[in-house]
Amino acid sequence: MAMRLPKQDEVELLGRLPLFEACSKRDLGQIASIKVESERPTGALLTREGQDGGIMFVIVEGTAEVVSADPDAAGGRSSGAWDRGTWSVSCP
């Protein structure tokens, strides 16, 4: 079951992300109110490199492996891991 944070904790988590650090608490509350929570099973694919996005992921619990298909980036293997409080933006 997905970990549900109290709204105040959501606002604090968003405020710690560099993308949102200049936002007011009111703005952060509005962002938190439009978010969609999603739980993914271990090993699930979140997005693919080069895929049109329009979505942002904030990891609240667990980790995500970042894999690049670019042969110059670790030979197409894992190029990092994200955990709680990290973020990724995927834009079209």
The 10s digit of each residue's pLDDT in 37-52 is: 888 888 888 887 777 7
Q: What pLDDT was estimated at residue 49? A: 76
Domain boundaries, given as residue ranges, for the chain:
1-39, 45-92
Q: Which of 51, 50, 60 is nearest to 17 (CA)?
A: 60
- Taking the whole predicted model, whether its pTM rises above 0.75 is answered as no
**pLDDT above 90: residue 27:** yes
Residue 84 token pair:
């709680």
Q: Which one is predicted more confidently, 69 or 24? A: 24
